[in-house]
Amino acid sequence: MNYKIRQVHLKNIKSHVDTTLEFSSGINIIEGDVGSGKSTILQSIEAALFGYDITKLIRVNEENCQIVLKLEPDLQIEWNVRSKKNQGARVLINGELHTLTAKEMREFVVKKLRIPESTGWREPKLFRAAVYIRQEELKTLLDESTSAEELVRRATGVTKFSVAVQNAKRVNRQLDTLSQALRNTLNLVQSRVERNKDAEENLKRYKAQLEEELATLETLEKMYQELEQKNRKAFEEYSLISNKIHAETQALKSFEEDLGITSEQRQSLEKEVKALEDELLAQEAPKLLSDDLEEINSKLKELQRELARVNREKGVLENQKRQLSELEKEKQALESEIDFGLDLDALTDSVKKLDQKKEELLKEIAKLESLIQGHSKLVQTGECYVCGAKVDTKSWKKHLEEEEQTLNRLKIELDNAERELESVRENQSKAKLQIEKQKRLEKVANKIEEIRQSLEREKSLEEEEKRLSEEVRELNEAQRFTLLKNKYEERVSRLEEIKKREQALKERIAELKRSLEQNKAELERVSLVYSQTKEEFDKVRKQREESLKSVERLKELVQSEQRRVEEYKRDLEEQKRIAQKLETLSKLRGFFEKSFIPTLEKIEALRLEEAKSRISVKMKEYFDLLMQDDERTVELTDELKPVLKKRIAGEWVEMPYPSGGERSTIALSYRLALGCVAREMRGIGVDFMMLDEPTDGFSEEQLTKFQMVLERLEIPQIILVSHHKALESIGQTIIRVEYSKDGSVVSVSG
């Protein structure tokens, strides 16, 4: 499946603010003045396919740009660059959208369009050799610095053979390095084989020695077990007696310490009993003597509760005395403040009458003020304010004065009534306060009488307190005497117990001393037996340990020699394997040096010769069409650079300095031929070619001949950038680009 370009959309790409172009099959000509934005369209198509340098195409003073490229059949590539950062692209295939990174997009296009670009290149070199012929490349193609052979090798795929040769040589060098490493390893293995060849003899000798030593060890082991049991039994008997002596010694020490402590306790208690006895004899027995201390404590607590109750009641009486004094003062103050001349009922009746009189005066004043207002209007206008009839103003004026005098009198009466009402209300408030004070006085008097009656109990409480205090004192004396007596009796009883314990300790100490003497004598006898047994046991144990060490040493020697034997056998196998591998590597190196590399070099030379031949044929064809001069032709040198030759005196002579038109014709013929051969030899999957100003410097006659060259190319779609109007006749689609202050303006005709 080969692809053609159907549409390209440019937004904020150099001079193109928002441009959309449709391309047709056949020849599409893009024409316009210098700097109008023609070449930008081709650069944008290349950038959309491979993603190189899109940020360099962004319009000045803009941060973002967009390129949308649609190809036939049904493939759309969209790049959106934001903030001058290329984050990747989106591709639409048969209606399905995929988002790819810039690298993934290049890999996708290379695979889809079958353009085997190298991932290490920073520009699409093969695409430019086979599809996109740029104006600046044509101008420099014939320079001495340009490597034509490298261009041809890359475009036609011959480079892969030279790369394969280099890889084969590198592999051969690696094989040589590996062979040398294997030879070094073989030398080491051979030295180990020589070193370990005596391992089998040593192994046999050490095994025989080990068997002899094991037999000796077995005999010693039996003796060791018997003596160990005998020694252990003697040690257990020795330990048993030693532990018994130790336990008896510790017990004797403990009993002696207890005896000392018990003796001190006895002496202390004897002194304390004597002191308590003297104290009891010195005291007089109380009246309420009792042996029941609990009964005494119970009675004492009951009396203390009664005494506390009496004290609380006395405290209440003291508070009442203070309260009585305060109440009597309050009574005297209230009696001096109360005025019994104010009658609250009479004052309340006066307030009601005065309120009624005030209400009547206010009504009369309001009525009179309304009449005065109407009569004043009548006097001023001379007309009745009700019916409008004429009246005598003098008589009404006199009547008005009388009414105003009456109003003033009523207002005076109202003021007097309000003052009187205020005075009566004040007395009413005083009367209410006097009544409250009278009630308080009655309460105070009643409280005073109540307290005086309560104070009559004060004398009986004092007598009860005296009686209870005396009973408490007697009980305290009985309690103290009983406690002292009980303490004396308890100390006497305890003293008897300590004397008994002291006697028992003395008897136990004497018994332990006798047993200790017997056990010490037995220990001397057992110690002698244990010493003899241990000496014999230690001798056999030492012989056994030496035998064990000898066995372990021989086992280690056997294991070591076994490892040497195993290593010897492995090394023999390794020696054989390395020798076989060296033989294989030698064959491989011979194959690479004598067969593979020479074959690749021959194929490379044949493919390069084929490419040269095919390029030469097509280059001459296109040159002859453009020049149509039998006296001039073009050929490829051994370095694959095109040169102009001219027939002079029947011989072809190289022209080192062709004219400007000849240089342009040679360069274009060479590039067109290279592009066609590259397409054929590489199988590139594109049915379009892009030419940027290929006819720069052509005459009108050459332009006409160039049309024949385009037809001879047999490429389904050509996109040609040119400023020559003469080429419009061959274009199926004409795209005109003009530059304005707002950017490039595009118009299409077909």
DSSP string, 646-683: EEETTEEEEESS--HHHHHHHHHHHHHHHHHHHHHHHT
Report the distance separating Cα 524 and Cα 478, nearest Å. Answer: 69
**Domain membership flag for residue 456:** no
Does 648 have pLDDT greater than 60? yes
**Amino acid, single-letter form, for residue 158:** V
User: What's the pLDDT band for 48 if we cut at 50, 70, 90?
Assistant: very high
Query: Given this model, what pLDDT does residue 379 score?
Result: 78
pLDDT range class, residue 224, cuts 50, 70, 90? confident
Per the listing, tokens 């025989």 go with 208
> How crowded is the C-beta side of 27, counted as CA atoms within 13 Å?
20
Confidence of residue 169 (pLDDT cuts 50, 70, 90): confident
Task: Specify the amino acid at residue 36.
Answer: S
- pLDDT of residue 191 exceeding 80, the answer is yes
Task: Check whether 479 has a pLDDT greater than 60.
Answer: yes
Q: Between these two residues, 484 and 78, which has the higher pLDDT value?
A: 78
What pLDDT, in 10s, does the model give residues 228-271? 888 888 888 888 888 888 888 888 888 888 888 888 888 888 88
Q: What is the mean pLDDT of residues 91-115?
A: 86
Position 1 pLDDT exceeds 80:
no
Query: What pLDDT score does 142 carry?
Result: 63
In tens, the pLDDT along 497-515 reads 888 888 888 888 888 888 8
What is the Cα gyration radius of the chain? 70
Beta bridge partner(s), residue 66: 11, 80
- Residue 346 included in any domain: no
Give first-to-last CA distance, the chain, whole Å.
27
In a domain, 665, yes or no: no
How does pLDDT run across 345-383, given as a tens digit for each residue? 777 888 788 888 888 888 888 888 888 887 788 778 877
Q: Kindly state the tokens that stand for 307.
A: 């005494």
Let me know if residue 48 belongs to a domain.
Answer: yes
Helix (H) or strand (E) holding 68: strand 65-72
With CA atoms as reference, report the closest residue to 23 among 705, 725, 687.
687
DSSP assigned state of 124 = -
Query: How many structural domains comprise the chain?
Result: 1
- Residue 22, domain member (yes or no): yes
pLDDT for 6: 96
- The answer to the question of residue 99 being in a domain is yes
Reduced to 3 states, what is the DSSP secondary structure of residue 11?
A: strand
| 119, burial (CB in 10 Å: exposed 0-12, middle 13-18, buried 19+) | exposed
Q: Quick one: residue 296, left, alpha or beta (phi over 0 = left, psi -120 to 50 = alpha)?
A: alpha
Q: Say if 502 falls within a structural domain.
A: no
User: Which tens digit of pLDDT belongs to each residue from 396-453?
Assistant: 788 878 888 888 888 888 888 888 888 878 877 877 887 787 788 788 788 877 777 7
Whether 296 has a pLDDT exceeding 80, the answer reads: no
Quick one: pLDDT band at residue 42, thresholds 50, 70, 90? very high
Average pLDDT over residues 166-178: 88
Which of 42-51, 486-495, 637-646 shows the highest mean pLDDT?
A: 42-51
pTM for the whole thing?
Answer: 0.49
606-624 confidence digits (pLDDT tens): 988 898 999 899 999 989 8
Using CA atoms in the order 41, 690, 23, 25, what is the torsion angle rounded to 10 degrees?
Answer: 180
Q: Mean pLDDT, the chain, as a whole number?
A: 84
pLDDT band at 334 (very low <50, low <70, confident <90, very high): confident
**C-beta separation of 78 from 87 below 8 A:** no
Q: Name all contacts of 179-185 with Cβ < 8 Å and 24+ positions apart.
A: 179/582, 179/585, 179/586, 179/589, 182/578, 182/581, 182/582, 182/585, 183/582, 185/578
The answer, yes or no, to whether residue 19 has pLDDT greater than 90, is: yes
Q: Is 121 a residue whose pLDDT tops 60?
A: no
- The domain that holds 74 is classified in CATH as 3.40.50.300
Percent of the chain surpassing pLDDT 70: 95
pLDDT at 282: 75
Q: Quote the pLDDT of residue 388.
A: 66
Q: Residue 98: beta bridge partners?
A: 91
CA distance 718 to 375: 119
120 pLDDT exceeds 60?
Answer: no
pLDDT at residue 291 greater than cutoff 80: no
Torsion sign, CA atoms 222, 223, 224, 228: positive
Between CA 649 and CA 661, with CA 655 as vertex, the angle to 5 degrees is 115
Let me know if residue 260 belongs to a domain: no
Alpha-carbon distance of 490 to 569, in angstroms, equals: 100
Query: Above 70 in pLDDT, residue 341?
Result: no
Query: Tokens for 188?
Result: 């080491």
Which residue range(s) make up the domain with 743? Answer: 4-131+684-749
* Band of pLDDT at residue 45, cut at 50, 70 and 90: very high
pLDDT band at 658 (very low <50, low <70, confident <90, very high): confident
Residue 31 pLDDT grade (very low, low, confident, very high; cuts 50, 70, 90): very high
Cα distances (Å, whole numbers) of residue 665 to 149, 530, 669, 690: 20, 125, 6, 17
What pLDDT is attached to residue 383?
Answer: 75
Q: How far is it, in rounded angstroms, from Cα 606 to Cα 436? A: 143
Residue 4 has pLDDT above 90, yes or no: yes
| Residue environment code for 663-695, b if the CB has 16+ CB neighbours within 10 A, otherwise e | bbbbbbbbbbbbbbbbbebbebebbbbbbbbbb
- Which tokens sit at 628? 């149509």
Reply yes or no on whether the pLDDT at 20 is more than 90: yes
Distance CA 432, CA 339 (A): 11
Specify the pLDDT at position 734: 94
- For the sheet containing 16-22, what is the strand order? 16-22, 4-13, 65-72, 75-81, 89-93, 96-100
Confidence at residue 701, expressed as pLDDT on a 0 to 100 scale: 83
- Range name among 73-82, 458-467, 582-591, 674-683 with the lowest pLDDT average: 458-467
